[in-house]
Amino acid sequence: MTSPFLLANAQQQVGQALGISPWVFIDQVQVNVFAEVTRWRTPGHCDPEHAKTTPYGGTLLHGFHAIALLSHFYKSSQLWPEDGRNPLNYGLDKVRILQPIIIGDGVRLRSHISLLDAQPKANGDMLLKTQHDIEADGVEGNVIYAEYLTYWHGV
């Protein structure tokens, strides 16, 4: 995307690719912290020795951990509308974890972001729906598909 992303012209960009986020590195320490915070510390995610005996051969990234990165992917792609402020996570529509994400010595993720919808609201506010096709470095095909809703207040 060459020009700044604006709420004012978002409706004209529906159906277009907006950008690709920088890579994010995730390692076992981060997986373990996520497990503690969410109270989902299971061997398949947190015990590398146990995980060697699974069909995956290593621990897996929690699917919700990757999904929790959507806001980061969006902002790090410089897609924060210059004419928007105080964004609110409005939720998710379709979300699919398409492939397991094996941690190993660490994994890099990034998101290919497209605009699916832009719904004007009162006072110049806008509800945006972005599509996130998340890839893991070295894995063929996308690992996660998510439709992310963000409510923006106009300036």
Taken as a whole, the chain contains a residue count of 155
The residue segments making up the domain with residue 78 are 20-154
pLDDT for the residue 3: 77
Instruction: Name the token pair of 13.
Output: 């960009």
Which stretches of the chain are assigned E, i.e. beta strand? Answer: 17-20, 24-26, 84-97, 107-120, 126-136, 144-154
- Residue 95 domain-assigned? yes
Mean pLDDT of the chain: 95
Percentage of residues in the chain having pLDDT higher than 70: 99
- Give the pLDDT mean for 89-104: 97
If one compares 112 and 80, the residue with the highest pLDDT of the two is: 112
pLDDT for the residue 78: 87
pLDDT for the residue 2: 61
Distance CA 105, CA 23 (A): 16
- Residue 4 domain-assigned? no
Strand, helix or coil for residue 10: helix
- Residue 87 domain-assigned? yes
Number of domains in the chain: 1
Model-level pTM? 0.93
CATH number at residue 104: 3.10.129.10
